[in-house]
Amino acid sequence: MMLFRETGMEIKNLDNLLVPIDYQIPKVLNHLGILKYNDNLDNQIKNSIQLPRHSFEEVALRCTAMVATNLICEKFGIPPHMLDDILFKESRKIKEIPHHLTLTTDY
């Protein structure tokens, strides 16, 4: 969403969009203590083991991140595009922490 605003394109009803769940969002939410990986998933991520596309783990990461970001927006009254900006900036601060790996074009 940040890229759209930087291009000067007009986006109507921006607050109706959800936070886009890319590969960085679960990492940031985990780092902040909002999401907790089980030991197996944590091991896979730390050891750069690829999660198969549409596997239970990959879908669960994306779904729980979506639920978590929606709850944050509701609880704190933050529009999704603002939370996306906040999480994007936070992800740049924690580059040394690995994110999950999935070979996909979904995000």
Q: Return the structure tokens found at 29.
A: 């939410």
In the chain, which stretches have pLDDT less than 50?
none
Q: What pLDDT does 56 receive?
A: 94
Q: What pLDDT does 16 receive?
A: 79
Q: What pLDDT does 55 receive?
A: 95
Amino acid at 48: S
Task: List, for residues 16-27, the tens digit of each pLDDT value.
Answer: 788 999 999 999
Contact 98, 46 (CB under 8 A): yes
Q: What pLDDT does 42 receive?
A: 96
Distance from C-alpha of 42 to C-alpha of 24, rounded to nearest angstrom: 15
Distance from C-alpha of 79 to C-alpha of 84, rounded to nearest angstrom: 9
Q: What pLDDT does 104 receive?
A: 86
